[in-house]
């Protein structure tokens, strides 16, 4: 299924906000992070924009990668820095032991679990999602 078809299927289950998605300078975001973002995320931002789903899952607004001092509080850049620090210090599931993913955080849930892409691969459509589950202090794919 294509990114558009995935988001269109989601639209049948979860109505987009009345004010729609958000305009993003994807060229600037891509240049600053050194890679394009997954097409389903791009489409999601066009239709829904950032925000919370059921007051549980917060989807981050894409932002250009900047220094932490210039980044938005609790935004994608800061949460990615948090994920990188947690990656270094916390346990991983067996399939992740010894790996060094390029993390980009795209979401956080109500229990402060981090949802990240492993952006190491060339094709953003195939990036796996890695989750840092604070309850058991473990990274999982």
Q: Give the separation between CA 31 and CA 86, rounded to whole angstroms.
A: 25
What pLDDT is attached to residue 11? 84
What pLDDT is attached to residue 38? 97
What pLDDT is attached to residue 55? 87
Whether residue 125 contacts residue 40, with contact meaning beta carbons closer than 8 Å, is answered with yes
CA angle 118, 124, 125 (to 5 degrees): 115
Its sign, for the CA torsion 104, 86, 138, 74, is negative
What pLDDT is attached to residue 84? 97
Give the global pTM. Answer: 0.91
What pLDDT is attached to residue 4? 67
85-117 in b/e burial notation, b at 16+ Cβ within 10 A? ebbeeeebeeebeeeebbbbbbbbbeeeebbbb
pLDDT (tens, 9 = 90+) of the chain, 141 residues, equals 676 678 888 888 888 888 878 999 999 999 999 999 999 999 999 999 999 888 899 999 999 999 999 998 889 999 999 999 999 999 999 999 999 999 999 999 999 999 999 999 999 999 999 999 988 889 999
Mention every residue, 6+ apart, whose C-beta is less than 8 A from residue 35: 119, 124
What pLDDT is attached to residue 15? 84
What pLDDT is attached to residue 133? 94
Mapped onto helix, strand or coil, the DSSP state of residue 10 is helix
For helices 3-13 and 39-47, the axis angle rounded to 10 degrees is: 40
Q: Give the separation between CA 68 and CA 139, rounded to whole angstroms.
A: 23
């Amino acid at each position: 299924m294509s990114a558009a078809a995935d988001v269109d299927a989601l639209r049948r289950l979860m109505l987009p906000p009345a004010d729609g998605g958000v305009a993003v300078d994807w060229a600037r975001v891509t240049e600053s992070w050194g890679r394009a973002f997954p097409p389903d995320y791009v489409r999601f931002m066009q239709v829904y924009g950032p925000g919370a789903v059921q007051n549980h899952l917060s989807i981050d607004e894409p932002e250009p990668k900047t220094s932490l001092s210039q980044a938005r509080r609790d935004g994608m850049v800061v949460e990615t820095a948090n994920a990188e620090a947690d990656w270094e210090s916390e346990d991983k599931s067996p399939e992740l032991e010894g790996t060094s993913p390029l993390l980009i955080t795209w979401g956080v849930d109500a229990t402060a679990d981090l949802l990240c892409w492993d952006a190491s691969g060339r094709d953003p459509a195939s990036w796996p999602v890695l989750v840092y589950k604070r309850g058991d202090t473990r990274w999982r794919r």
